[in-house]
Structure 1
Amino acid sequence: MSKLLYVVVCAAWPAAGAGRLVALAQEAGWVVQVVATPSALGFIDVPALEERTGRPVRSRHRRPSEPKPPRADAVIVAPATFNTVNKFAQGISDTYALGVLAEAPGLGIPVVVVPAVNAALAGRAVFRDSVERLRAEGVRVLVGESEPDASGSGEEDGFPWGLALVALDGG
C-alpha cells in the first residue's frame, strides 16, 4: 500500500513549480495530496495538480457533511513562506494548511519545510527562532538550501524540490 504525502504549498515565487515535487514524489511511490494556503491558489495551476494527483487541491476545512480526509504519512511544505514558518512554529492554525501543520508533529508525522524567503527575512531573529523551535520538535527545516543561485539545486527554477524528498528520507 502506498504512503500518503501531503504537499503544502504557500504563496511564494517557486509555487508554480510545485508540480515538480508532486511528480518526484509520485516517482518515489508516494500518493500525493496537495494542500494550498488560500493565497497560494493564485500561484499554482490547480486543475493540472488535481489531474496529476487524482485528488482535489485542498485549501479549506471540510464541511461536516464531507468525509474526513485520510491522515498523511508525511508532510512537505514547499515553498514555505516567512509567514507560514513563523505561524507553524507558534502553533497558529488559522488556515487549513496551518491546521495540518499544527497537528503533524504531535501525531508523529514527519515534516520537512523548505522555506522560500529572502535574506532580509531569513536574517530576522523571529524567523531564526521559529526555525530552531520547529527543529526542536523534530521538523526538518532546510534553511539555505531554498535560496535560488546559479550553482543551484539542479532544478531549472533554482528551488530544491528534490532535496525535500531526500530530507524526508533522512538524507
Structure 2
Amino acid sequence: MSVVYLVVSAAPPALQVGTLIDSLRDNGWSVCLAATPTAASWLDLDELSRQTGHPVRHDLRSVEWPHADVIVAAPATFNTINKWAAGISDSFALGILNESIGLKVRTIACPYVKATLAAHPAFDRSLGALAGWGVEVLPNECVRAGWTPVLDTLAR
C-alpha cells in the first residue's frame, strides 16, 4: 500500500479532512496526518488517528511513521505556503513540507487562501518558488467544492 502524508493547515476545508482520508483509503492509500498547531486545535485528533490507523502528528514528539510515497498539503494556508517557501520549519507540519523538497518526494500543494491574501505579492512569489522546486501547485481554493482536485492529481 502506498503512503501519503497529508499536511493540514487551519482553513475551512480542514474541518472535512475525514472525508478526504476516507477517499484516500478507498483508493488504496495509507494516510499519515500532520496538522499545523492551529489546525490541530480545530480537529478531533483521536478520531482522525483511529481513522488513519496512525497517530496524528502536530508536535515534535517522536512517533514512527512509514516512509511517504507522496506528500499532500491540503488545505495550505497563506502562512503555510509562505513559511514553506521561505524554508521556515517552526512546526512539525512545516518540517515535513520542507524536507519533502530536499528528499525529492512527490509533493502536492492545495492552497486555500482568501482573495485579499492571495493578492499579496509574497503569495504568488511563494507559489512560484514551490513550483520551481518541483511541488505540484493546484489552483487556489480548488477544494472549495470538495476534494476531487486532490484525488485527481494523485491519480496522475
Aligned twin of 2:150: 164
The Cα of 1:161 is off from its aligned counterpart by 1.3
Paired residue type of 2:155: D
| Equivalent position to 1:123, from 108, 112, 119 | 119
The Cα of 1:147 is off from its aligned counterpart by 6.6
Secondary structure of the structure 2 residue equivalent to 1:114 = strand
Please give the per-residue CA displacement for 1:148-171, whole angstroms capped at 9, x wherever unaligned. 3xxxxxxxxx2x41211221333x
- C-alpha separation between the residues in 2 aligned to 1:167 and 1:134? 16
For the pair 1:78 / 2:74, whether they are aligned, the reply is yes
Specify every segment of 5 or more residues in structure 2 that has no aligned partner in the other structure, as ranges.
none
State the TM-score, normalizing by the size of structure 1: 0.85
- C-alpha separation between the residues in 2 aligned to 1:62 and 1:162? 32
Aligned twin of 1:106: 102
Within 5 Å, give how 1:1-171 maps onto structure 2: 2-63=1-62, 68-146=64-142, 148=144, 158=145, 160-170=146-156
- C-alpha separation between the residues in 2 aligned to 1:104 and 1:90? 14
The Cα of 1:42 is off from its aligned counterpart by 2.0
The Cα of 1:69 is off from its aligned counterpart by 3.0
Q: What do you get for the CA RMSD once the two structures are aligned?
A: 1.5
Paired residue type of 1:38: P
Please give the per-residue CA displacement for 1:42-83, whole angstroms capped at 9, x wherever unaligned. 2222222111111111111134xxx54332111111111000
Query: 1:77·1:113 contact (CA, 8 Å) conserved in 2?
Result: yes
Query: 1:35·1:59 contact (CA, 8 Å) conserved in 2?
Result: yes
- C-alpha separation between the residues in 1 aligned to 2:64 and 2:38? 23
Secondary structure of the structure 1 residue equivalent to 2:56 = coil
Query: 1:8·1:77 contact (CA, 8 Å) conserved in 2?
Result: yes
Q: 4+ residue stretches of structure 1 with deviation over 6 A?
A: none
- C-alpha separation between the residues in 2 aligned to 1:39 and 1:145? 19
Secondary structure of the structure 2 residue equivalent to 1:127 = helix
Please give the per-residue CA displacement for 1:2-54, whole angstroms capped at 9, x wherever unaligned. 11101111111111100111111101100000101111012222222111111
State the TM-score, normalizing by the size of structure 2: 0.93
- Counting matched residue pairs gives 156
Structure that is richer in helix per residue: 2
Query: 1:78·1:161 contact (CA, 8 Å) conserved in 2?
Result: no
Specify every segment of 5 or more residues in structure 1 that has no aligned partner in the other structure, as ranges.
149-157
Please give the per-residue CA displacement for 1:85-141, whole angstroms capped at 9, x wherever unaligned. 001111111100000000102212111111111111111110000000000011011
Query: 2:143·2:149 contact (CA, 8 Å) conserved in 1?
Result: no
Q: Kindly, what percent of the aligned residue pairs are identical?
A: 41
